[in-house]
Amino acid sequence: MISAATQLETPALLLDRAKLDRNLARMSERIAGLGAKLRPHVKTAKSIEVVQRAVKPAGHEKSGGITVSTLKEAEHFFTAGYRDILYAVGIAPNKLDHVAALRARGCDLKIILDSVEAARAVAAQNAKLPALIEIDSDGHRAGVKPGDARLVEIGRTLGGNLLGVMTHAGGSYDCKTIDDIRGYARRERDEAVRCAEQLRAAGFKCDVVSVGSTPTATYAESLQGVTEVRVGVYMFFDLFMAGLGVCQLDDIALSVLTSVIGHQPEKGWIITDAGWMAM
How is the chain split into domains, by residue range? 1-16+253-279, 17-247
Task: Report d(CA 77, CA 92) in Å as an integer.
Answer: 21
| Structure confidence at residue 5 as a pLDDT band (50, 70, 90) | low
Share of the chain above pLDDT 70, in %: 98
Predicted confidence (pLDDT) per residue in 162-181, tens digit: 999 999 988 899 999 999 99
Q: CB of 215 within 8 A of CB of 173?
A: yes
Split at pLDDT 50, 70, 90, the class of 3 is low
pLDDT given at position 49: 96
- What residues contact residue 276 under an 8 Å CB cut-off, 6+ apart? none
Q: What is the pLDDT of residue 259?
A: 94
- pLDDT number for residue 138: 83
How many whole angstroms separate alpha carbon 149 and alpha carbon 127?
27
For domain 17-247, give the CATH superfamily.
Answer: Alanine racemase (3.20.20.10)
pLDDT digits (tens, 9 = 90+) for 96-153: 999 999 999 999 999 999 999 999 999 999 899 999 999 998 887 789 999 899 999 9
CB 39 within 8 A of CB 66: yes
The proportion of the chain whose per-residue pLDDT surpasses 90, expressed as a percent, equals 88
pLDDT at residue number 237: 97
Give pTM, 2 decimals: 0.93
How would you classify the pairing of strands 84-90 and 66-68?
parallel
pLDDT digits (tens, 9 = 90+) for 209-220: 999 999 999 999
